[in-house]
């Protein structure tokens, strides 16, 4: 690469307030557990690479909870509570809680590496009902529960903590048969790591290696607090709740964020990541007057802010000034494609291949853009659960490769913006967020709008009480704090149909309890409607097993309604966790069989115009008594052959494949060497040369059993 490419890493660290405002109990443990993993790993690894500059965004809601966990020895965390109880003394509700919740981590990267942990998961069952858990609890011994208490907490430690505390490696080597003393050791190390997190960030910030930035206080979507009708700028036909217009809350969320940051780090932040990258022009004067010098958001906002003739790809790789009503602020835009590779693609691949791919893409940018600023902006905690080693290999090779590149340098975003004053101006900043360049995730669905109406009614009631002047300031302050928490984006993220999560009910509960707290703070009766969930029951299953034999005509078309009716299925959603991908390549996967053959149907999504898929392949990876792989081109013109691979070698070629509206595949069971009654798991991956760019399902496998002769009769009787 020639001289001039500057790389800006901007890692966004965030968790919502998990504390129940009424009971003061933390209902979810993610602040504590991520602190021992991503939050500690991401900052401490930089000590090995002092030449690497980076920017970290630590949200106030996260900071306050880390402080609480660091200083409060008696913290009320329901997961910690059931961990601390001696296993021999666990009550029945504790056993059920542990069986339900202590496997909630990435099975492939955090459970399977521990043989004992994996065996306990299999003993519990992969998808148990509540009735199953009641039955299973009686089959778990005291030692089973003790090992599970230890392993759940042990599995969350990242690579840096395991390097620093040798006792963790000894416990991992021990693997099972843990004692209560072992458990206390794990918890004491966990507490030690949590206590080191914030001092670590402050130390590297004061040393000049990193810049620390903030987000609005409780992570709200600021444009929607300003005026919910702004949602129609990017989505004119969106259904809206009753108007919510509180610019004063926008100012409060910004001012309180700056105060929180300054209290913890000793200096006011100059940069800010707007929650979910959500921006609108009206925010520019408010941020500027608060002392914020620069912000960042997604590239989609840039394309909406530029005239059509100015939307060349090279426009992305430079900083701008956004102006509104005689105020201005610096702004940079994330390279969505490169950033998403870190979160959704590279963990599937060997670290050296991923790093090679990344540097190759940087070279391509440098070849057509003069002195580019490439902004890699993404979650700093969530991706690393998906890397087999927590990201150690990838990050180490990445940072090492950068330090060895004489023509590539990293920067802190604030430094770069301040050193490039003569930059382009955006006089018409688009309104939108980092997802789809609009606010649809957080408003517009029935659940979203109901929640906004609850929030708006409660906010209006509180303002009426405040203006009456009869309430003590202390009461109003407590009530406002609950309002600010309820304004957070996270509750609205999980409302609506876009995302699925086993904790949706807890997020719903926390949202409503913060609204309840407004009334309780003023000594008033809580409206009854706040006692009822906003979340509705899931209307569509994400996956299902085959319920009968199928024998589809392999022509790449849905020949008739019943052709795939009895098949198993998996619906690909935009996201099922805290991260979301911008582009899904498949919308659904179907699988089924008759007595002799196994069938797959893949439903491709429309691909962006001009996307080169010439080197793309689809791999159907089968895991059973023997591993098998079916491979074919992901290209209509070349999709005329299906190869079966055994032990890495081509074993057979089939013509039973067609790609028209859908992709249909058939292969005989005898060719796979699978016998009736065998349990099979599979996943579908999409490869671009040596790089895996997508996998469905993202975690785990889809499972089924090779049918016996009685299969259809059995299903019919059921």
Which of residues 360, 395, 415 is at a domain's end?
415
Pair 548, 684 in one domain: yes
Confidence of residue 415 (pLDDT cuts 50, 70, 90): very high
pTM of the model: 0.84
Residue 390 sits in the same domain as residue 469: no
**pLDDT higher than 50, residue 401:** yes
- Which pLDDT score is estimated for 311? 85
pLDDT value for 583 = 62
Question: Which residue, of 333, 359, 376, is where some domain finishes?
Answer: 333
On whether residue 421 sits in a domain, the answer given is no
More confident residue, 670 or 216: 216
Instruction: Say if residue 556 is in the same domain as residue 592.
Output: yes
Q: Are residues 216 and 290 in the same domain?
A: yes
Give pLDDT tens digits for 482-502.
999 999 999 999 998 878 788
Domain edge (last residue) among 484, 508, 531: 531
The count of domains in the chain is: 5
In a shared domain, residues 478 and 377 = no
* pLDDT (tens digit per residue) in 247-280: 999 999 999 999 999 999 999 999 999 999 999 9
Q: Tell me the CATH number at 516.
A: 1.20.1430
5 part of a folded domain: no
Do 150 and 57 sit in the same domain of this protein? yes
* Closest C-alpha to 604, from 554, 563, 663: 663
Cα 41 from Cα 529, distance rounded (Å) = 43
- The yes-or-no verdict on residue 620 having pLDDT over 60 is yes
Same domain, 586 and 710: yes
Between CA 307 and CA 460 the distance in angstroms is 40
Q: How confident is the model at residue 716 (pLDDT cuts 50, 70, 90)?
A: very low
Structural domain containing residue 667: 543-717
| 1-5, 28-32, 435-439: the lowest-pLDDT one | 1-5
SS3 200: helix
User: Within 13 A of 223's CA, how many CA atoms are on the CB side?
Assistant: 27
| pLDDT-wise least confident of 94-98, 359-363, 371-375, 531-535 | 531-535
Task: Considering only CA atoms, give the Rg of the chain.
Answer: 27
pLDDT tens-digit series, residues 93-123: 999 999 999 999 999 999 999 999 999 999 9
Which pLDDT does position 30 carry in this prediction? 98
With respect to residue 536, please indicate whether it lies within any of the assigned structural domains.
Answer: no
Residue with tokens 């906004």: 452
- Residue 537, pLDDT above cutoff 90: no
- What pLDDT is attached to residue 710? 65
Q: Which residues of 588-606 are buried (b: 16+ CB within 10 A; e: fewer)?
A: bbbbbbbeebbbbbbbbee
- Residues 531-549 have a mean pLDDT of 77
Using 50, 70 and 90 to split pLDDT, how confident is the model at 539?
very low
% of residues, the chain, pLDDT over 70: 95
Please, which pLDDT band fits residue 638 given cuts at 50, 70 and 90? Answer: confident
In a domain, 434, yes or no: no
In this structure, the answer to whether residues 46 and 193 fall within a common structural domain is: yes
Q: Which structure tokens are listed for 524?
A: 């008033």
Residues 187 and 324 in one domain: no
Structure tokens at 49: 């690479």
439: in domain: no
8, part of any domain: no
Question: Residue 713 pLDDT > 60, yes or no?
Answer: no
pLDDT tens figures, 422-473: 678 999 999 999 999 999 999 999 999 999 999 999 999 999 999 998 899 9
Residue linked to tokens 């060719």: 671
Length of the chain: 718
How far apart, in Å, do the first and last CA atoms of the chain sit? 64
Residue 706 included in any domain: yes
pLDDT at residue 75 greater than cutoff 70:
yes
pLDDT at 359 over 50: yes
Q: 443 and 235 in contact (C-beta within 8 Å)? A: no
For residue 616, tell me if it sits in a domain: yes
Q: Torsions phi, psi of 37, nearest 5? A: -120, -100
Contact 39, 199 (CB under 8 A): no
pLDDT of residue 242: 95
User: Average pLDDT, whole number, for the chain?
Assistant: 92
Within 8 A by CB and 6+ apart from 430, the residues are 233, 234, 279, 301, 302, 303, 304, 305, 437
Percent of the chain with pLDDT over 90: 77
Is the torsion defined by CA of 61, 62, 66, 72 positive or negative?
positive
Co-location of 310 and 357 in the same domain? no
> What pLDDT shows up at residue 89?
98
For residues 177 and 230, state if they share a domain: no
Q: What is the mean pLDDT of residues 393-410?
A: 95
Confidence of residue 538 (pLDDT cuts 50, 70, 90): low
Check whether residue 578 and residue 648 sit in a common domain: yes
**Structural contact between residues 29 and 80, judged by C-beta atoms closer than 8 angstroms:** yes
User: Is residue 621 within 8 Å of 629, Cβ to Cβ?
Assistant: yes
| Alpha-carbon torsion (466, 469, 472, 473), positive or negative | positive
Distance CA 594, CA 708 (A): 10
pLDDT tops 70 at residue 519? yes
């Amino acid at each position: 690469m020639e001289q001039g490419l500057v790389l800006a890493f901007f890692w966004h660290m965030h968790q919502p307030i998990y504390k129940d405002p009424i009971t003061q109990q933390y209902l979810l443990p993610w602040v504590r557990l991520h602190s021992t993993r991503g939050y500690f790993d991401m900052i401490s690894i930089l000590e090995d690479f002092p030449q690497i500059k980076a920017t970290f965004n630590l949200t106030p809601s996260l900071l306050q909870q880390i402080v609480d966990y660091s200083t409060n020895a008696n913290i009320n965390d329901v997961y910690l509570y059931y961990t601390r109880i001696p296993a021999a003394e666990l009550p029945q509700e504790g056993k059920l809680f542990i069986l339900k919740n202590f496997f909630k981590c990435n099975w492939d990267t955090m459970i399977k590496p521990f043989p004992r942990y994996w065996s306990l998961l299999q003993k519990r069952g992969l998808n148990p009902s509540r009735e199953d858990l009641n039955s299973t609890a009686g089959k778990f011994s005291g030692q089973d529960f003790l090992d599970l208490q230890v392993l759940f907490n042990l599995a969350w430690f990242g690579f840096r903590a395991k390097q620093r505390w040798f006792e963790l490696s000894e416990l991992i080597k021990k693997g099972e048969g843990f004692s209560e003393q072992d458990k206390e050791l794990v918890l004491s190390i966990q507490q030690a790591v949590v206590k080191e997190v914030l001092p670590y960030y402050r130390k590297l910030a004061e040393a000049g290696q990193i810049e620390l930035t903030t987000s609005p206080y409780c992570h709200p979507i600021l444009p929607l607090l300003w005026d919910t009708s702004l949602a129609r700028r990017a989505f004119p036909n969106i259904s809206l709740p009753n108007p919510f217009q509180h610019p004063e809350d926008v100012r409060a969320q910004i001012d309180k964020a700056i105060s929180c940051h300054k209290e913890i780090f000793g200096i006011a932040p100059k940069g800010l990541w707007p929650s979910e990258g959500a921006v609108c022009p009206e925010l520019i004067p408010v941020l500027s007057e608060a002392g914020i010098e620069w912000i960042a958001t997604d590239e989609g906002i840039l394309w909406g802010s530029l005239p059509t003739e100015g939307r060349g790809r090279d426009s992305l790789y430079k900083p701008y000034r956004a102006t509104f009503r005689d105020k201005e602020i610096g702004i940079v835009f994330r390279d969505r494609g490169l950033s998403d590779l870190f979160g959704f693609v590279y963990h599937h691949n060997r670290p050296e291949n991923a790093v090679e791919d990344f540097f190759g893409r940087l070279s391509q940018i440098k070849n057509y853009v003069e002195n580019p600023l490439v902004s890699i902006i993404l979650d700093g905690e969530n991706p690393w659960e998906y890397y087999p080693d927590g990201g150690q290999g990838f990050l180490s090779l990445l940072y090492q490769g950068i330090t060895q590149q004489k023509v590539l340098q990293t920067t802190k975003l604030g430094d770069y913006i301040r050193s490039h004053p003569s930059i382009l101006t955006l006089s018409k900043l688009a309104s939108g967020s980092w997802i789809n360049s609009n606010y649809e995730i957080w408003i517009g669905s029935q659940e979203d709008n109901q929640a906004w109406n609850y929030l708006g009614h409660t906010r209006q009631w509180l303002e009426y009480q405040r203006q009456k002047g009869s309430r003590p300031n202390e009461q109003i302050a407590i009530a406002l704090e609950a309002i600010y928490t309820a304004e957070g984006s996270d509750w609205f993220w999980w409302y609506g149909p876009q995302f699925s999560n086993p904790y949706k009910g807890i997020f719903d509960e926390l949202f409503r309890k913060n609204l309840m707290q407004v009334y309780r703070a003023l000594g008033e009766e809580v409206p009854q409607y706040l006692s009822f969930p906003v979340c509705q029951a899931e209307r569509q299953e994400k996956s299902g097993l085959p319920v009968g034999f199928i024998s589809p005509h392999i022509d790449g078309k849905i020949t008739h309604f019943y052709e795939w009716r009895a098949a198993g299925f998996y619906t690909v959603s935009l996201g099922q966790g805290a991260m979301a991908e911008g582009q899904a390549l498949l919308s659904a996967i179907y699988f089924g069989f008759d007595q002799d053959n196994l069938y797959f149907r893949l439903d491709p999504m429309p691909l962006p115009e001009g996307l080169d898929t010439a080197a793309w392949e689809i791999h159907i990876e089968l895991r059973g008594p023997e591993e098998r792989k079916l491979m074919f081109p992901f290209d209509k013109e070349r999709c005329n052959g299906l190869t079966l691979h055994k032990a890495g070698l081509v074993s057979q070629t089939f013509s039973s494949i067609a790609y028209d509206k859908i992709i249909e595949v058939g292969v005989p069971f005898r060719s796979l060497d699978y016998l009736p009654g065998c349990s099979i798991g599979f996943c579908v991956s999409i490869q671009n040369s040596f790089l895996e760019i997508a996998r469905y399902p993202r975690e785990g496998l889809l499972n089924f059993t090779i049918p016996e002769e009685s299969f259809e009769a059995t299903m019919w009787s059921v």
